Amino acid sequence: MYAHIRQMLVLCVGCVISSAGYADERRTPSWLHEVKLGVLHHDTSSLWSGFRRESGVDVNLEAIFSPQLKILGGAIRPAFGGSVNTAGDTSKLYAGIRWQYEHISGIFFGVGLGGAVHNGDLHLQHNDMKALGSRILFHIPIEAGYRFDGKNALSAYFDHISNANLADPNEGMDTLGMRYGYRF
C-alpha cells in the first residue's frame, strides 16, 4: 500500500502543477487557494499520542482549495494532502476542512478536522510500528505561521491521526515540523 500512497501523492502534485495554467489570464488556478510543502518529524513523542515507535522524516504536500465559508473572522476551506515517510514507515493521505484566521500583520493560525487513510499496521505486529487499529482514521491538523507577502508563508505544523477509540488498539500518531506555503 506504501507504493499506492506514494503514487497517489505524485499524481496529486502533477494535477496541481499542470492545472496552474488553465484558470485565467494570470495563469493561476481559480479553484486552488494555496499549496503547502513541508518536512515533518514522524511519530513525535510526548505530544497527543504520548510515545514513539516509528522513525524517519515525512515529506508533506497539501492543497487548500478556494471555496470558502467565512466564520469567526477566518475562512473554512477544503483541504487535501498527504505525507510520505522517508524510512518506509506509515504514510498517509488525508482530506478535510481547514479553518484559518489571518491577522493583518501576517501572522496566521489554522485548525482542521478530517479523515485519513494510511498504510501502517492495524495491530501490533512489530515493535517499531504503531498499531493504529483502523485503516481510516481521524485527522486533526494545527498550524501557526507568518505570511511574508501576499503569496509566501512559513509555518509550524502539527497533525494527529487516530481512530478516537472507535477501534482497538488506538496508539495514534503525531507529526511536527515546518511548512512553506504559496498562495495563488
Q: Domain residues of the chain, as ranges?
A: 2-183
CATH class as words, domain 2-183: mainly beta
160 CB contacts (<8 Å, ≥6 apart)? 47, 48, 49, 139, 140, 141, 172, 173, 174
> Exposure pattern of 51-72 as b/e (b: 16+ CB <10 Å)?
ebbbebbbbbbbbbeeebeeee
The cell for 124 is 501490533
3-state SS, one letter per residue, for 126-182 = CCCCCECCCCEEEEEEEEEEEECCCCEEEEEEEEEEECCCCCCCCCCEEEEEEEEEE
How many CB atoms lie under 10 A from the CB of residue 100?
Answer: 20
Taking only the tens place, the pLDDT of each residue in 3-12 is 544 545 544 4
User: Along the 184 residues of the chain, how does pLDDT read in single tens digits?
Assistant: 445 445 455 444 454 444 444 444 455 568 999 999 999 999 999 999 989 999 999 999 999 999 999 999 999 999 999 999 999 999 999 999 999 999 999 999 999 999 999 999 999 988 899 999 999 999 999 999 999 998 999 999 999 999 999 999 999 999 999 999 999 9
CA–CA distances in Å: residue 15 to residues 22, 63, 84, 166: 11, 11, 18, 34
Is the separation of the CB atoms in 87 and 56 below 8 Å?
yes
